[in-house]
Amino acid sequence: MGGIVFWALVRIVVLVPVIWFLVDKYYINYWQIWALLVIYVVVIHPVYLQYKKFMNANKEIIEDTICSSCKHFDESAVLCMKHDKHPTKDFIPCNGYHWEVK
């Protein structure tokens, strides 16, 4: 998830000065609408697609592993907070020894 947020911020940081420059240099009618459209196409839609891809890749881990019912599991990062490791379908960081109900 952190990578998705990082690249969204990078895209915004690059895009805002470009839009500002273009609006200043060329006066475009309805530039606010065009700016929102460009922000949607360059930032929001790719973030949505990356999030969907992340959730589909980790759906089985979030729903079907013992880690998903543990209080140390962070769903947003698919991370065991106690051991600071990412569980997978075949790997449980604590081997079930530190599992605690939510």
Would you list the DSSP string of 22-91? HHHHS--TTHHHHHHHHHIIIIIHHHHHHHHHHHHHHHHHHHHSGGGGBTTEETTTTEETTTTB---SS-
- Alpha-carbon distance of 12 to 6, in angstroms, equals 10
Q: What is the band of 39 on the pLDDT scale with cuts at 50, 70, 90?
A: very high
pTM: 0.74
Is residue 6 predicted with pLDDT exceeding 90? yes
pLDDT at 77: 84
